[in-house]
Structure 1
Amino acid sequence: MKYKIIADSGSNVTTLADTDFASVPITIMAGGKEYIDDAALDILAMTDELRKLSTKSSTACPNIDQWLTAFGKADIIVAITITGTLSGSYSAAVQARKQYLEKHPNAQILVLDSQSAGPRMQLLLEYAAKLFAANAPFNEIESKLTTYQQHTELLFSLESLTNLVNNGRISATAAKISNMLKLRIVGTDTNGKLTPVGKARGQAKAISLLLKEMQAQGFNGKKACIAHCFNETGAKLLSQKIKEAYPACEITLTTTRGVCSYYAEVGGLMVGFEKQ
């Protein structure tokens, strides 16, 4: 049996240790230009260019053929997508599953809408890889992974809201007020939607608020993944604060790829974590 894990680039993940893994790119479209979120994308150049724009921008999901290509010839497949409220990636993957099964009727495929992005998706991918390593049967993989999803969460802290305005996710007035007051927005992914939960003046206060919200949402102190968009200082400070409260916590620091950098923008922090 050949196992394979696939995710769109909203996960920030490019490789999984000892696992057959593929990343399918999402495309960011802004200023008449397309940024394909693959290994060749220059994230710094993209974020610099996007900061200069005030026109509408959007993202395009991977198409069905891209998902089919990623499936390869695997027998057991887990495909995890960015939340369906931000992208049509989940729908495309579901259609690819249908077409794949027509030609490979004995294959078993789980397509999971993460209802999230970035580091929460990474937690799901790493858990799937553990199940694969244990040679778990498909039914067990499906059951345990969907259960595990209910015990994970995502929080984020944003310094800039420009792209969310240009993408039509929030109002320009709300963003202008936040920028004027130098506020960082702290939010979560309630049912797959980006939902603000608080505001903080400055990074230090935002990080304290992040940890407070993690605890309020039932953080179990065992595992967290922090992704940052050119904000290593903030990521390390958040990691330090978590370690002070939960010394045994397993923490991974990563950088955002294209689509998460598009939404989080420079200075942004995202933290995925396990909860009770």
Structure 2
Amino acid sequence: MSYKIIGDSCTDLTEELKKDSNIQIVPLCIDIDGYLITDDESFDQKDFLKRMSESPNCPKSSCPSPDAYMKAFDGPEDHVYVVTLSSKLSGSYDSAMLAKRLYLEENPDKQIEIFDSRSASVGQTLIALKAKQLEEEGKSFEEVVRETSEFRDNMSTKFVLESLETLRKNGRLSNIKAILASALNIKPVMRGTEDGSIEKVDQARGINKTLLLMADLIKKDATNIANRTLAIAHCNNYERAVFVKDEIMKRVPFKDFFICDTSGISSLYANDGGIIVSY
């Protein structure tokens, strides 16, 4: 059976995965004070980060329309798997679910599964790669859905932000807390919860200490590492991503790893210098 994996554009891909003919990205859009950005191959990260830092407002994102998803469903593939940004953070999942219902009314023979990643960025990428692996092993559609869902449920995502400005601007952090944290150089380690929300796990003073703290936290909770891949996304700081990879791999011998840069939506969440880790 032929297959297609569709991710919304918060699914951060390596350059190699961008060339994979079985993977398709449906873009979200970003609005910075009326300046509209489509989160596709035309995305200019440096220009985006400059505009975001100069704006007093938090950029607004809009999810793909059901029509955009339905167009992505089209094609000769028998099996279609969609991986979306956490439904707690975006309407992308709901849009994809509506698209599935409408599309199957006219195309009942197509098999489509929508995965709420309950994560973001490379968390979505790992879920997409799991579905790809299972398809290429010759598993049935039902087996791919079941095993990918189990993988998703046991996956972890953590991240460290260089700046808390985006959290402050979008109301997830008060001005007082943001100012205090900035003055004291305090950086939080955040994680995705089981339902796809975000919470603070711990904190440290200084970015390097916080990254080391994140590596220690990963050592404590990483399981089944012999079969797991460490995925790291960075926003405009490859050297920091390599540092994080080295420190984590010293503590936890994951089977494999990859590093990629953040797309537009992930750059919005991570901000300049942010690091996202999934495993």
- Give TM-score scaled by structure 2 length: 0.93
Partner of 1:57: 59
Contact 1:35 1:41 in 2 (8 A): yes
Match of 1:141 in 2: 144
**Equivalent runs, 1:17-36 vs 2, <5 Å:** 19-36=21-38
| % same residue | 30
Residues 108/252 of structure 1: CA separation in 2 closer, same or farther (3 Å cut): same
Q: Answer yes or no: is 1:160 the counterpart of 2:163.
A: yes
Identify, as 1 or 2, the structure richer in strand.
Answer: 1
**What is aligned with 1:196?**
200
3-state SS of 2:156 partner: strand
Aligned position for 1:238: 244
1:262 maps to 268
CA distance in 1, matches of 2:18, 2:145: 19
Q: Paired residue for 1:47?
A: 49
Q: Following superposition of structure 1 onto structure 2, how do residues 36-185 of structure 1 map, counting pairs within 5 Å?
A: 36-73=38-75, 74-185=77-188
Quick one: structure 1 residues 247 and 86, their matched pair in 2 at CA, closer, same or farther if it must change by over 3 Å? closer
Structure 2 residue aligned with 1:208: 212
Aligned to 2:273, the other structure's residue is in SS state coil
Unaligned segments of structure 2, at least 5 residues: none
Check the 8 A contact 1:61/1:88 in 2, yes or no: yes
Alpha-carbon spacing, 1:140–1:257, altered in 2? closer, same or farther (3 Å): same
- Asked whether the 8 Å contact 2:158–2:277 carries over to 1, the reply is yes
1:251 and 2:263 aligned:
no
1:36 and 1:267 mapped to 2: Cα distance? Answer: 22
SS state at 1:13 partner: coil
Deviation at 1:16, TM superposition (A): 5.8
Higher deviation after alignment, 263-272 or 20-29: 20-29
Contact 1:81/1:89, CA 8 A, preserved across alignment: yes
Distance in 1 of aligned mates of 2:107 and 2:122: 32
Q: What is the distance in 2 between the residues matched to 1:236 and 1:249?
A: 16
The answer to whether the 8 A contact 1:6-1:79 is kept is yes
The 2-side partners of 1:260 and 1:248 are apart by 24
C-alpha spacing 1:28/1:204, structure 2 compared with 1 (3 Å): same
Query: Structure 1: where are the runs of 5+ without partners?
Result: none
Normalised by the length of structure 1, the TM-score is 0.94
Say whether the 8 Å CA contact 2:158–2:278 is kept in structure 1.
yes
